Structure 1
C-alpha cells in the first residue's frame, strides 16, 4: 500500500494493519484468525495467538516489557455496555480471560499481565507499553471482526510507545507547540509521531485535552501565544462545523492541519499553514516551517 493513501482509509489502525499484513505476515481475516462465525464476546486459541504475535512484534520494535492491562475486561462496564447478545456474566468473562492467559503462558510469552494499571492507564511505567486487551476481547464488534482486533491493539502499542519515548527527552525551554484533536481523538498515532519529532529537535510540546473546543483554543492562543498549533481534524469539521474558529485560530498563530481526507486546498481555505494526508509527516513539516518563520 502506498503510504500516501492513508488519508483515504478510515483510521490509522487499518493502515497500520495493512502494513503488518505486507511486511510481517500478519494474518488477515479468514487465515488463522477468523472468528466471525464464533459466538459474540467469545474467543479462542486463534485470538490468543493473534495477540501474542502483536506482543512479540511490539517487544522487538520498541524494546522493554509489554503489559497486558485487563482493566476493561475485569470491569463491569464491559458487560453493561455490551449488546444483549454479548451481555455475559462477569465471571464468564474472567474465566475466558484466565484460559487465554494460560494459553499465553504455555506459548512462552515474555509478557506480564496486570490489572494494576486499571486506574492509571495513562501513567505508563517507562519501558512498558500498555495494551488494553480487555476492551478488545469484551467488544462484540471487534471480536466478530478479528482484523480490527489487530489494528486496535497495534495502534495502542504505537501510541503508548511514542508517548513514553517522547517523555524521556528532557523538557525544552524553547517555544511551545500545541498538539491536539478537536474531534476528540487526542491519542491519534500521528500526533504522537509528530510530538516525538519535535522533542527530538528541541521543541517544547503540549498535548491539548480531549475534545478541545476550537473557540476556547483560539482564546487560549491569544493569551499564551504558542509557537504553532498542530491539529488532527476531519474534513467534515473543516467544511461544515468549525470553519470560523479555525480561521480565527490560523489568523493568530501558525496552524498546521492533518487528518482523514484533509487537503492542502482545505487548509488554504482557512489560511492555515498546511494540510497533509499523513499525520506523521506533520512534525517534520512543522519543524521546517517554523525554521522558515525564524529566518524572516
Structure 2
C-alpha cells in the first residue's frame, strides 16, 4: 500500500495526508498501550527506506546547502527526513545527518559545506532541553540560519535560541526555507 501511495500521488501530499497521520495514529496508540512497538518500528522502517531512496536521487542545486539533523538524544527522524526529500525536490543541496547527532558536529559540518540553513527536528522534550543547554554555549556559523521544527520546537524555545520556527507541517516549512534562498 505504501508503494502504491507514493506511485499515485504528489510526494508532499502523500507525506502530509497519508504517511504522517498513520504514523501519528500508531504513535498515539502505542503511547496509550494499544499498539505493539514492533508495528510502529515496522512501518517507520518502510517509510524510512522509501524516503532514503528518494533522497539518494541527487539533483542539481539552485538554492544552496541545507544541513538537517536531529540533535543528540532525538531519535524521531522521519519528519525531518521527509523535509529533506522535499527540500531536495525544491532545489536544495541536502546534507541529511540523521538522528541523535551532536549539535557541535552539525554546526561544524554546516560551516565546512557553507550551508545556508541548519534544520533541526525536535520531538522529545529531553532532547529539546539538552539542545537549549548546548546551544547556549555554541555559536551558529556566520550566515547560517538555524531552523527548528517538530513538536518540541515551541515558539518560546525558538525565540530563546534566536532560531526560525518551521512548525510541524512540511509544505509551509519548505515555503519558509525557500524564502531564505530564492532561486
Could you state the TM-score of these two structures normalised by the residue count of structure 1? 0.44
Match of 1:60 in 2: 4
Q: 1:279 to 1:200 in 2, by over 3 A?
A: closer
Match of 1:274 in 2: 165
Q: 1:61 to 1:202 in 2, by over 3 A?
A: same
Task: Report which stretch shifted further, 239-248 or 265-274.
Answer: 239-248
Match of 1:34 in 2: none
8 A contact 1:197–1:284 mirrored in 2? no
**Aligned equivalents of 1:244, 1:252: Cα separation in 2:** 20
Match of 1:93 in 2: none
**Aligned equivalents of 2:3, 2:128: Cα separation in 1:** 38
**Aligned equivalents of 1:255, 1:169: Cα separation in 2:** 23
Match of 1:195 in 2: 84
Between the two proteins, the alignment pairs up a number of residues equal to 157
**Aligned equivalents of 2:78, 2:55: Cα separation in 1:** 13
Match of 1:237 in 2: 127
Match of 1:216 among 105, 113, 120: 105
Q: 1:199 to 1:221 in 2, by over 3 A?
A: closer
Match of 1:227 among 102, 106, 116: 116
Match of 1:150 in 2: 39
Could you state the TM-score of these two structures normalised by the residue count of structure 2? 0.67
User: Residue 262 of structure 1: SS of its match in structure 2?
Assistant: coil
Q: Which one has the largest radius of gyration?
A: 1
Kindly report the root-mean-square deviation, in angstroms, between the aligned alpha carbons of the 2 structures: 3.2
Q: 1:275 to 1:263 in 2, by over 3 A?
A: farther
Unaligned runs of 5+ in 1: 1-56, 64-140
